[in-house]
Amino acid sequence: MILEKTQTHQRVIEQISVLNAKVDFMNDTALSNALTYLEEKGIPNNKNEEYKYCNIDSILKTDFKNIQQQFNTVSTINNLRLNDCLTLVVVNGNFSEKLSDKLVLKGVKLFSFNSLENSGKQLLTAAAKSNSDSFIALNTAFSGIGFHLKILKNEQTQIPIQILYINSASAESFVNPRNIIELEENSSATIIEHYINIGTHKVFTNFVSEKYLAQNSNLKSYTLQNETSLGYGVYTNQVKVNKHANYQNTTVTLSGRLVRNNHQVILSEDNCEASLFGLFKTSNNQLVDNHTLIDHQKPNCQSNELYKGIIGDKSTGVFNGKIFVRKDAQKTNAYQSSKNVLLSDEGCINTKPQLEIFADDVKCSHGTSTGKIDENALFYLNARGLGKESAKKLLLSAFANEVIDKIEVDSLKEIIESQII
């Protein structure tokens, strides 16, 4: 077992590193930590508690036998642009200045990893420690050229920023996109991270984003995953929230053979707030695994989670939500809910809502429910003249709308509404 584990990660490293340039924007300690960690831990299989329902090791073993890192060039993105946003483009893991809009917004700065400021260099790997997780380590070692997006002090950006991650490969490939999103004091922004695949071959996306919210800042972020059946990915978000700041994320997964979201939010000072919402609809042999961790470190913070899944065919949905309440985090208010509908006989849903509480004056609760479509509701609609299919659709969209309604960007909402059911 151990031998096989070593083999996978060594092969993957070997095959990725062939064509990758040396990552020279990463600091040396982080780099060497990353490689040591990988060497020790390898790529997790289902013996690892965190990856119990998501055996990435075996998926890499069978579906990515020969990673060749061959990509198509992408010359236009017009039909992928959201019309009410400014768009930044990342092609096959690297930031493309050519395809991106000029960021004409006041108070917004953008640095490519090749021209990072000192402050940016310090933020890189500060939240996503290279020795905390195999995929973060792998990304650190082979990071694509990402960017550092910074919203300056006291700036309220009105126009949402769309970050488009386009993968287009002409042979099995493995990409490591990475970014830093920083909100300075009293600033606010809306960000949409949109993943798509337009190539002809399988691509594994190992994404890492570090998000820093300074005092009183407010970040609304949306994630739309639509990488088709050629898309595989581990998407890691490491978020650090400071005093009185507010972080909100809505993640919608429309397609992707393997989607693993690692969303970690650290409420590092008092009176901050985080909300995580998610919606996924799976079909065929998809595996969608949402892992969230909200770490309440200081008093008077709030968190709220709602994840909904619609599982069809032979697909598997996983929700694992962890809430930590540390000793100091009195007056914490944490709420978590996961609801799932199982549509097929061969689908499978695994949930594990986990609370770990070390403070006494807290209000924490979680709830999860799984079931089929309510027969009575179906009958009610049938009796009123709705066909079976459309009645089912109506009920499912009502189920999904609870999450979709959290989306405040119209163009994004339209895409999701048109594709989810």
Partner 1 sequence: MSNEIIQEHINKDYEWGFITNVESETFAPGLNENVIGALSKKKNEPEWMLEFRLKAFRHWQTLSQPSHWANFPYPKVDFQATSYYSAPKKKPELKSLDDVDPEIRKTFEKLGISLEEQKRLSGVKSNIAVDAVFDSVSVKTTFRETLSEKGIIFCSFSEAIQEHPELIKKYMGMVVPYTDNFYAALNAAVFSDGSFCYIPKGVRCPMELSTYFRINTGGTGQFERTLIVADENSYVSYLEGCTAPQRDENQLHAAVVEIIAYKNAEVKYSTVQNWYPGDKNGKGGVYNFVTKRGLCIEDNSKISWTQVETGSAITWKYPSVILKGNNSVGEFYSVAVTNNYQEADTGTKMIHIGKNTRSTIISKGISAGFSNNSYRGLVQMRKGATNARNFSQCDSLLMGDKCGAHTFPYIEIKDKTAVVEHEATTSKIGEDQLFYCKQRGIDTEKAIALIVNGYCKEILNKLPMEFAVEAQKLLAVSLEGSVG
Beta bridge partners of 180: 148, 210
Closer residue to partner 1 (CB): 109 or 352: 352
Q: For strand 348-357 and strand 316-325, is the pairing parallel, antiparallel, or unpaired?
A: parallel
Binding mask 33-72 for partner 1 (x = CB under 8 A): ----------------x-----------------------
Which of 370, 378, 386, 396: binder of partner 1 (CB under 8 A)?
370
Q: Rule CB under 8 A: is residue 352 a binding residue for partner 1? A: yes
| Spatial distance between the Cα atoms of 141 and 186, rounded to a whole number of angstroms | 34
What residues contact 193, with CB distance under 8 A and at least 6 apart?
163, 165, 209, 221, 222, 223, 224
Q: Rule CB under 8 A: is residue 27 a binding residue for partner 1? A: no
Q: Rule CB under 8 A: is residue 219 a binding residue for partner 1? A: no
Q: What are phi and psi of 208, to 5 degrees?
A: -135, 130
Closer residue to partner 1 (CB): 371 or 385: 371
Q: Rule CB under 8 A: is residue 343 a binding residue for partner 1? A: yes
Quote the least distance from Cβ 14 to partner 1, whole Å.
Answer: 31
Q: Rule CB under 8 A: is residue 351 a binding residue for partner 1? A: yes
Largest CA distance in the chain: 68
Q: Rule CB under 8 A: is residue 354 a binding residue for partner 1? A: yes
Looking at 155-297, which runs of residues are DSSP E strands? 161-167, 173-175, 178-183, 188-197, 203-213, 218-226, 231-241, 246-255, 258-267, 273-282, 287-296
Which of 58, 365, 382, 390: binder of partner 1 (CB under 8 A)?
365
Q: Rule CB under 8 A: is residue 348 a binding residue for partner 1? A: yes
Q: Rule CB under 8 A: is residue 363 a binding residue for partner 1? A: yes
Selection from 296, 155, 303 nearest residue 217 by Cα:
155
Closer residue to partner 1 (CB): 96 or 292: 292
Return the range that interacts with partner 1 (CB under 8 A); candidates 3-11, 13-21, 113-121, 363-371: 363-371
Closer residue to partner 1 (CB): 41 or 153: 41
State the CB neighbour count (10 A cutoff) for residue 387: 10
Q: Rule CB under 8 A: is residue 361 a binding residue for partner 1? A: yes
Selection from 203, 288, 302 nearest residue 251 by Cα:
288
Beta bridge partners of 325: 296, 357
| Spatial distance between the Cα atoms of 228 and 231, rounded to a whole number of angstroms | 6
Q: Rule CB under 8 A: is residue 377 a binding residue for partner 1? A: no
Q: Rule CB under 8 A: is residue 355 a binding residue for partner 1? A: yes
Return the range that interacts with partner 1 (CB under 8 A); candidates 18-26, 298-306, 368-376, 402-410: 368-376
Question: Are 128 and 212 spatial neighbours (Cβ–Cβ below 8 Å)?
Answer: no
State the CB neighbour count (10 A cutoff) for residue 298: 21
Q: Rule CB under 8 A: is residue 80 a binding residue for partner 1? A: no
Closer residue to partner 1 (CB): 97 or 346: 346
Quote the least distance from Cβ 186 to partner 1, whole Å.
Answer: 33
Q: Rule CB under 8 A: is residue 333 a binding residue for partner 1? A: no
Contact set with partner 1 (CB under 8 A): 49, 327, 330, 340, 342-372
